[in-house]
Amino acid sequence: MANDAPPADPFPRLVALLLLLEDAQPYVTVEDVCARWEPASETEACRALVAEAIADRRLFTDRRQRFDPATATFHPVRLVRLNRRHPVVAPLV
């Protein structure tokens, strides 16, 4: 018999991961989140979920420049953080 259960919503997993990262790091990038996403084979799904959450304002975002001292160059990064007042996010934090 086929499994007819709908796929689990991955957003609560994203919230749990972001809560840990926001507490542990001064800022969190999309790369930080998706590098720790489980399963690791779903990195692109993680990026799509983050983009969707940014689009509907469940996540705040900001673009910054990260300095790489090894090459003395700057690289663009996208920071993310939870919008803890969003009605979908608030019950998960």
pLDDT in tens, the chain (93 residues): 456 555 688 999 999 999 999 999 999 999 999 999 998 899 999 999 999 999 999 999 999 999 999 999 999 999 999 999 999 999 999
Cα–Cα distance for residue pair 34/55, rounded to 1 Å? 17
Is 34:43 a contact under the CB 8 Å cutoff?
yes
What is the pTM assigned to this prediction? 0.84
In the prediction, which pLDDT does 40 show? 86
Is 34:47 a contact under the CB 8 Å cutoff?
yes
In the prediction, which pLDDT does 5 show? 58
Pick the CATH number of 11-92 from 1.10.287, 1.10.357, 2.40.40, 1.10.10: 1.10.10
Among 12, 9, 2, CA closest to 92: 12
